[in-house]
Every structure is written in C-alpha cells, then in structure tokens.
Amino acid sequence: MTREIAFDDIYALAASKQRPSPRPGGGRIARRTLVAVPRTAPFVPRDYLAVPNLWPFAEHEVEWTLAVDWDDAVHLARAREQHALAYRIGVLRAEHKNSVADIALVLKEGRGTLTSKLNGHLPATEDDLIRWSWLTGEKRRSYSPEALWGQPFRVPAFPFPRARELPK
C-alpha cells in the first residue's frame, strides 16, 4: 500500500518528532506530494522475547518464545544472536563511554538505523552480525534446532535423497 504525504506535512512531522499515522484507505493529500511506501521488516527480533522491553538490557535472564516452523526458527536464532551482540555492544559502550553515533561512524551506518537494530526493532543483516562480532571480539553463536522449537521435528541433514531420487 502506498500513500502520499505533502512535503509541508513531512517537515511539520519532523519538527514535532511524530511519525505519520496511516490514513484510512491510504488517503491522499492534495498539495505538493511525495510518495512514501511503508517498509516492513521481515521480522522484529525483539518480538521473540517474552518481555520485549528487556531488549537489550538483560543477557541471560530473558525468556524467549519458541518457534512454530522452520522459517520462524531461523528468525529466532538470528534474533538471539542479535540480542547477545547488541547487549555486548551496550556493555562496551558504557565501559568506554562511546555514543551510538560513535559506533555508527565506525560501522559506517546511519545512527538511526543502528539504534533500531541495537534495540531489536529491525533485524540485523548477516553483514551487521559479522561486524558486531568483530567490533566486540565475541564469537558468532549458533543454536541447535531443538533449542528453538517447542515440539519434536526433523531438520534436513546430510545425507538426504537427491532431487531425482525423491518420489513424485
């Protein structure tokens, strides 16, 4: 869904530090317009915490929700790794008295985007996780599928049948 927002409205919103609220039916404002297409993240990492507001303030004391399918398990594993690295970055920031702007400059990323990722509102990319790992000196984490799903399941593992050997 796209919607149009007037330039004047964008400046007014920026000055008031509010986000534009969606208009019913994707409403159109009749003045000079800028087309804005809402961007949605594929998942919100902090939503995998039982208490999302604990992101990234607690490392081991957090309770994670369990995945319901294969894709959800992959997102949960990424969210857990992102959380651990964001927590470590927060600890190091406090120890060395660095701001998010300092870290964003070093990582060559926008301060707002980095803040959203560190707070779990946006998923960190694989590149982000590697950079964060290098920045903090932390090893990358991996989680077994059994630690992510609440029910028994079978994950693909070697050896498995080749495509031409699968029943049709």
Residue-wise pLDDT tens for the chain (168 aa)? Answer: 334 444 444 444 444 544 444 444 444 444 444 444 444 568 999 999 999 988 888 877 889 998 888 888 899 999 999 999 999 999 999 999 999 999 999 999 999 999 999 999 999 999 999 999 999 999 988 887 777 877 666 666 777 677 776 566
Positive/negative CA dihedral, 75, 78, 84, 86 = negative
DSSP designation for 97 = T
> What pLDDT, on a 0 to 100 scale, did the predictor assign at position 89?
94
pLDDT at 14: 47
Q: State the pLDDT at residue 40.
A: 53
Tokens 């927590």 locate to 87
pLDDT at residue 143, as a whole number:
82
Q: What is the pLDDT of residue 160?
A: 65
pLDDT at 85: 95
Q: What is the pLDDT of residue 24?
A: 45
Q: Looking at residue 42, what is its pLDDT?
A: 81
- Residue 163: burial class (beta carbons within 10 Å; 0-12, 13-18, 19+): exposed
Q: Please give the Cα distance from 41 to 116 (Å, whole number).
A: 11
Predicted local confidence at residue 3, as pLDDT: 41
Q: Which token pair is 112? A: 């707002």
